[in-house]
Chain A
């Protein structure tokens, strides 16, 4: 095989499928799903005019934002203000490229040892860049919103990471594609406690109700997004939406067997992607359902929930998983 052919194939996989373009459209689709579910839960219809059943609504929002005038507040840190949202978005999409969506990941098809930790670290960096965006806008609401984001994601990153180690212990591997391929029985059955806790911690990491303080309009106006408009706002929104897709993908990879599923005919890649997307949608539905059911907790209640409840529980969950792996499941893994 000549090097040039490999290069084109890599570019295709990273930029089109299952990379950037696929992730972008998947994100827009998930945004539509979320809005429809929220509307239905609230006894409404939701987007209905843009495209059939409103499916083009997120795309219309995106295009509209890019066609707006660019306004930069005079006392903002201009270069950071412009660049931070774009970099945050790129990092999230980059992280998505390591997930085995159609059987193998876009970059380095069988992954590399420790790419689980790498992906988790990328998520943290992207969130940190969101904090920087809010800080760069130099407005009181932006600053407070950014501070809240920082407090929340730094706090919840720790239990999230501990819970992400649960499937690593079950599979005895730190590579995402290896974790997927060792799920003859999906890990949700072997470690349901991990699944439940991961979903709850994910709600906080994604800043969704009941943990959506950084987006509390009634307290913070627009939070860290207050001074952003137009294209940069589009990138901030996209970062958040891709993070939701990334979070759901992690759940699917860790606990639901990733793209594993029966292949009926034709390209196996197609069927794997289909199963992955279906499982991902199921998780998105679950998280959105939880969002609609609860009120928003106060910041001190959120922090209590993290340090006093979730962190000890995640340590316990890890201990429990290790116990089960060593003594109860040796035949499985």
Chain B
């Protein structure tokens, strides 16, 4: 990944944008461009022309009292460029960019759902995360939203009928069958609904309905202090909990301009990599379960238990570790624990050799996963997917290498990529990443610097805003925090990797057999508690 010189990037942008907007370098990424709402499409076109591999990372909506702010965060040449604009609150309209970047579809729908912005030209602005019977014109993320009425009425929501998206009329004419998978289904650990329209055994249309796990975390974080928010944000997802905590704490540290001690950075890196190890073992085992390979599932989860033990050793809890705080980590690494960690990692390394040979030689496994769920490089870029999914389709993208955070800049490791783009490739990428994670942890343990493991930070955070990205096991995790000079954040925006990857599932499932759906689905490693927040 070539790192484009910052100055040349800015000067290129300045030349091309001209008078359309003003540029603030090194703010919210490599640069922030402030534009008018009508010029948004022109700016996106210019950015796409200068880099046709640019993808959208998130669209953040803000309530600025008389106006609604919109920030389009794009990733180009490995770093973030933010385009900011505003729309008036009484007429929040802006043109859509989904024809330029198809991956912006879900992002625009979410802002429409939670803030009430109308994206003109969007193919389908239906509800995304809020329930179907949510009152119209009530937008939770607006500061003046009156949620008392809704909260008081919650107990009676059992009596209300939930209108469902029915397409029975259309199907009777075409002869296609509609199968609804979810919200309770053995294949899915979490509740979400997929409406599949099938023709015999081939899938024609996939319509997801997410939002069953929407807990209103972004709004709730505005009512808790920064420290309480770490506990809240961790529980967006139990599997990648440390990543959320690091992303949030890191953003707050950027606002405060705090320098985290190096020892804390190394300890954070170790905990993040342990998180990656347990998450990849989990999904590989789960994939085994989906293709009927129960033995693989049992073996993988058996080998995952020592990692949980190590997490408990370091942080005190197996799953939700609560080990991060603004300014460092809460507990130091004890010297006596280091040999224990190394022994377990050595055992896991030997087991990985067995799994490698299993994945490479076992026929029935290969028959179920090879040439299934193909995602081309071009689609991976257009749909803006993140994590092992584009890496299995030949796209070399990894936040740890593109914009190193914590101790990743000092630790040598390689990014695993494959070119086949099928389910097998996605699983193999994760298997190979396990090896890399073990190496990272061992290097960090060998080169652990001495010093303090945290610094004290003030309770009241100065006004400002910052973004932070972390490579979670499922992909790039994006946090945006805005503070207003009090002890409570003004706005917290989280864009999780599965939110970005879901459109890819819709694409890879079409045209394939219905029997391949579970394996395909799991290879994208979906986490709906992350998606819905």
Q: Name A's B-contacting residues (CB within 8 A).
A: 38, 41-44, 140, 209-210, 212-213, 216-219, 221, 292-301
Q: What is the minimal beta-carbon distance from A41 to any residue of chain B, in angstroms?
A: 6
Chain B residues near A292 (CB, 8 Å)? 294-295
Contact (Cβ within 8 A) B515 A298: yes
Looking at the complex, which of B213-221, B285-293, B386-394 is the stretch in contact with chain A?
A: B285-293
A296 to B518, CA, bound (A): 12
Give the Cβ gap from B281 to chain A, nearest Cβ, in Å: 15
In angstroms, Cα B289 to Cα A209, docked, is 13
Q: Which residues of B contact A296 (CB under 8 A)?
A: 291-293, 364, 368
A219 touches B514 (CB 8 A): yes
Cβ-defined contact, A295 with B292, below 8 A: yes
Q: Does B179 contact A (CB under 8 A)?
A: yes
- Please judge, given known A-B contacts A212-B292, A295-B288, A295-B364, whether A219 and B299 are in contact too, CB under 8 Å: no
Of B187, B288, B302, B368, the residue contacting A298 (CB under 8 A) is B368
Q: Are B186 and A217 in contact (CB under 8 A)?
A: yes
CB nearest to A301 among chain B residues: B367
Residue of A at shortest CB range from B369?
Answer: A295
Q: Are B179 and A140 in contact (CB under 8 A)?
A: yes
Neighbouring A residues of B517 by C-beta, 8 Å: 219
- Cα separation A300 to B367 with both chains bound (whole Å): 11
Contact string against A for B residues 295-319, beta-carbon threshold 8 Å, 1 for contact and 0 otherwise? 1101100100000000000000000
Interface size on B, residues (CB 8 A): 28
Contact of B516 with A by CB under 8 A:
yes
What chain B residues lie within 8 Å of A44 (beta carbons)?
298
- Min Cβ gap A295→B in Å is 4
- Tell me if B293 and A295 are in contact (CB < 8 A): yes
Q: Taking chain B's interface residues, is the majority helix, strand, or loop, or is none over half, making it mixed?
A: helix
Query: Residues 368-410 of chain B: 1 if any A CB is under 8 Å from the residue's CB, otherwise 0?
Result: 1000000000000000000000000000000000000000000
Residues of A within 8 A of B187 (CB): 217-219
**Chain A residues, Cβ within 8 Å of B201:** 299-300
Task: Decide: B179 and A221 in contact? CB cutoff 8 A.
Answer: no
User: Does residue B98 face the partner (Cβ distance < 8 Å to A)?
Assistant: no
Report B174-214 residues with CB < 8 Å from chain A CB.
179, 185-187, 201
Asked if B289 and A42 make an inter-chain contact with CB atoms under 8 angstroms apart, the answer reads no
Chain B residue nearest to A296 in the complex (CB): B292
B362 contacts the other chain (CB 8 A): yes
Residues B518 and A295 in contact, CB atoms below 8 Å apart = no
B369 shortest CB reach to chain A, Å: 9
What are 23 A-B contacts defined by CB distance under 8 Å? Answer: A42-B295, A43-B302, A140-B179, A210-B364, A212-B292, A216-B515, A218-B186, A218-B187, A218-B290, A218-B518, A219-B515, A221-B185, A221-B186, A292-B294, A295-B288, A295-B362, A295-B364, A297-B367, A298-B367, A298-B368, A298-B516, A299-B513, A300-B201
- Cα distance A221–B186 when bound, in Å? 6
Interface residue? B365 (CB, 8 A): yes
Q: Which residue of B lies closest to A292 (CB)?
A: B295
**A218 and B289 contact, CB distance less than 8 A:** yes
Q: Are B298 and A295 in touch, CB under 8 angstroms? A: no
Contacts of B364 in A (CB 8 A): 210, 294-297
B185 x A41 contact (CB < 8 A)? no
New A-B contacts (14) at CB < 8 Å, excluding given A219-B517, A299-B515: A41-B295, A43-B299, A210-B364, A212-B292, A218-B518, A219-B518, A221-B185, A295-B292, A295-B296, A295-B365, A297-B367, A298-B368, A298-B513, A301-B367
- Note all chain B residues with C-beta closer than 8 A to A221: 185-186
Nearest-neighbor residue (CB-CB) of B290 within chain A:
A218
Q: How far is the CA of A310 from the CA of B167 in the complex (A)?
A: 42
Q: What is the CA–CA distance of A296 and B294 in the complex, to the nearest angstrom?
A: 9
Closest B residue by C-beta to A44 = B298
A296 to B295, CA, bound (A): 11
Chain A residue at minimal CB-CB distance from B292: A296
